[in-house]
Amino acid sequence: MRTLQRLIFWILLLATLFSGWLYLHVHSDIHLPTTPYEFTIKPGSNLKQVSQQLSDAGVLAHMWSFVLLSRYMGNESAIKAGDYTLTENLSQVALLEYLIQGDVKQNEIKFLEGWTFSQIREVLNNHPTIKNNTIDLSEQEILQLIGADETAAEGLFFPDTYYFVRNNSDVEILQRAYRTMQNHLQAAWSTRQESLPLKTPYEALILASIVEKETGLESDRAEIAGVFINRLRISMRLQTDPTIIYGMGDKFDGNLRRKDLQTDQPYNTYTRAGLPPTPIAMPGLSSIQAALNPAETKAIYFVAKGNGESQFSTNLADHNRAVNKYQRRQK
């Protein structure tokens, strides 16, 4: 009986001593390898992986104490992924609270309306905190990686600001931008006007990209879309300069000449009827909605006034007068 009592005594004593030591240990300041100390917790990392990462970096002297603390506080799965910056020494308790709050440094990248896929690739490749896995890949290889069924990447990515943790792959960012565009496009397609001369959401995306490049003023967007819809309905060529410029690629020197309008190529909407084969840029949501819900107009012509607005005409004679008026003013 005495032996059992002694055993219980020593167990209780050791447990008390250990609890006291652990309390002091987790409330004592850890010493950072450098100040400030920056580190990244990758998405999907579990408690043991995070503890091991901090232990390997010299932040935690004993990873198991941090694991015990997290489990005791019921926060085993509450640690958030992201980029963190520690500016001063702190205790394990404070560190755990910091990781649970997720006070992370936000990395971001912006894709702007009207950008081409080559512009997207350029900013991805030059971003200092993005892991470039596509830099040597072809357009088709990138589409396969992100799970896209399309054969051309132009216009497939939604213009927006995307936030991510350091060393996220450009593939993941492109996947998010692709899925976002698909979601917006499908939602707009489901609420489109009836009897539009557009057979598929992809055709709507092509038209939206043209509207994006042709619009100088937000209030003109729906009417410009209406002009192109009217032309498609009567089988009139779209005759839009941005498609020609896109098709010329590096050959375009900033000046669009008469010979450029007359030189046939897949994106020359002066020589070819219907929509071009792919989008010519990345349209924003307003252009997508305008393409699928255009203004009801009888206009089939428009010309830029030079102040961002457009002059719309229902016949060629009025259009020619508008062209002479506003082009003369610009010159």
What distance in Å separates the CA atoms of residue 45 and residue 22, rounded to the nearest whole number? Answer: 25
What distance in Å separates the CA atoms of residue 64 and residue 92, rounded to the nearest whole number? Answer: 12
pLDDT digits (tens, 9 = 90+) for 232-254: 999 999 999 999 999 999 999 98
Same domain, 121 and 49: no
- Assign residue 85 the CATH number of its domain: 3.30.1490.480
Which pLDDT score, from 0 to 100, does residue 15 have?
A: 52
In a domain, 43, yes or no: yes
Same domain, 304 and 176: no
Q: How confident is residue 4, by pLDDT bands cut at 50, 70 and 90? A: low
Same domain, 96 and 205: no
Same domain, 228 and 306: yes
Same domain, 203 and 293: yes
Question: Among the three residues 161, 185, 209, which one is the final residue of a domain in this structure?
Answer: 185
Same domain, 136 and 89: no
Torsion angles phi and psi, residue 112, rounded to 5: -100, 150
In a domain, 21, yes or no: no
Tokens of 176: 């998010």
In a domain, 11, yes or no: no
247: containing domain: 194-330
Q: What is the mean pLDDT of residues 304-320?
A: 85
Least confident of 2-11, 126-135, 138-147, 311-320: 2-11
Same domain, 85 and 53: yes
Q: How many helices (H) and strands (E) does the chain have?
A: 13, 8
In a domain, 24, yes or no: no
Q: Where are the beta strands (DSSP E) in the chain?
A: 37-41, 82-86, 107-110, 130-131, 161-164, 168-169, 301-304, 310-313
Q: How confident is residue 5, by pLDDT bands cut at 50, 70 and 90? A: low
In a domain, 7, yes or no: no
Same domain, 113 and 96: no
Nearest to 153 by CA among 279, 242, 289: 279
Same domain, 113 and 178: yes
Q: What is the mean pLDDT of the chain?
A: 86
Same domain, 199 and 320: yes
User: What percentage of the chain has pLDDT greater than the value 90?
Assistant: 54
Least confident of 51-55, 69-73, 250-254, 315-319: 69-73
Q: Partners of 168 in the beta sheet? A: 130
Which pLDDT score, from 0 to 100, does residue 223 have?
A: 95
Q: How confident is residue 272, by pLDDT bands cut at 50, 70 and 90? A: very high
pLDDT digits (tens, 9 = 90+) for 14-30: 555 445 444 454 456 77
Based on the structure, what is the number of domains in the chain? 3
In a domain, 5, yes or no: no
Question: Among the three residues 101, 131, 161, which one is the final residue of a domain in this structure?
Answer: 101
Which pLDDT score, from 0 to 100, does residue 328 have?
A: 61
Which pLDDT score, from 0 to 100, does residue 210 have?
A: 98
Same domain, 52 and 122: no
Nearest to 39 by CA among 88, 85, 97, 103: 85
Question: Among the three residues 67, 84, 101, which one is the final residue of a domain in this structure?
Answer: 101
In a domain, 223, yes or no: yes
Same domain, 163 and 42: no
In a domain, 6, yes or no: no
